[in-house]
Amino acid sequence: MSRRRQIYEGKAKILYEGPEPGTLIQYFKDDATAFNAQKTGTINGKGVINNRISEHVFTRLSHIGIPTHFIRRLNMREQLVRQVEIIPLEVVVRNVAAGSISKRLGLEEGEPLPHTLIEYYYKADELNDPLVAEEHIACFGWANNEEMQDISAMAIRINDFMCGMFAAIDIRLVDFKLEFGRIWDGDYSRVILADEISPDNCRLWDMSTGEKLDKDRFRRDLGGEEEAYQEVARRLGLLQNDDGGPGEVLDLTAHRSKLRTSTKPKK
């Protein structure tokens, strides 16, 4: 598919004008960022792997009734998606203490939370994506009450499904980030899942060793980022794509190696 006009470029993806009204082409980059782009780098092949993993997860979520922006994968780095009006919230679903919540509340990393926790962050890099309450969301009109009910219900359903999906391949879903958008039909709108789901926005730990299989390896200078992303794809059964042709083969088995740093959480 020929490339069209660029609509937007983010830290990990570029959006281009789609072939039909109401569609976009989402291109996955190899760029890696952390701490709101204060740290930048590259993870070779990340865009290819994230494209496949996100396609796989979004497809499976659609099978359980979660509406998403995903239409189909176009090639190794691009997928066709519905154009949405992004709701300016990052929705973080937490099952285990890790990252910012451990720092904010003094929780030991790896400590299971009493129950699944949903947090909302205002999507503004220049403000470091501040944590906000539902009262802020209502006050500033970022989403209405009905939309928030849909978002929280979908977030819990997505978490339940993905916890089981990853547990089946010996991976613990620690936490993850979601983004949602509105699609319009005249004056009526509904909320659907957008963005991506991949090791870029999930914390994924090996259930046996505690090995980190996500972007924390980049954030914390642990090394082995490429191998970690490839391992997640391998366990999901995404060893090669089905486009045919030698240039379109994603063979992960040739790249497998033991990750260099063990990060088993404390008991």
pLDDT tens profile 28-63: 999 998 877 778 899 999 999 999 999 999 999 999
Q: What angle do CA 242, 173, 93 make, to 5 degrees?
A: 110
Is domain 6-84+225-240 annotated with CATH 3.40.50.1110?
no
Q: What is the pLDDT of residue 39?
A: 85
Where, residue-wise, is CATH 3.30.200.20 in the chain? 6-84+225-240
Q: What is the pLDDT of residue 265?
A: 40
3-class secondary-structure state, position 104: helix
Tokens of 22: 């109401």
CB 54 within 8 A of CB 151: no
Q: What is the pLDDT of residue 209?
A: 97
CB 81 within 8 A of CB 71: yes
Per-residue pLDDT of the chain (267 residues; tens, 9 = 90+): 455 899 999 999 999 999 999 999 999 999 998 877 778 899 999 999 999 999 999 999 999 999 999 999 999 999 999 999 999 999 999 999 999 999 999 999 999 999 999 999 999 999 999 999 999 999 999 999 999 999 999 999 999 999 999 999 999 999 999 999 999 988 899 999 999 999 999 999 999 999 999 999 999 999 999 999 999 999 999 965 444 333 333 443 443 444 433 333 433
Q: What is the pLDDT of residue 35?
A: 79
CATH of domain 85-206: 3.30.470.20
Q: What is the pLDDT of residue 187?
A: 87
Tokens of 36: 């709101």
Calpha distance 82→188 (Å, rounded): 16
Where, residue-wise, is CATH 3.30.470.20 in the chain? 85-206
Q: What is the pLDDT of residue 97?
A: 98
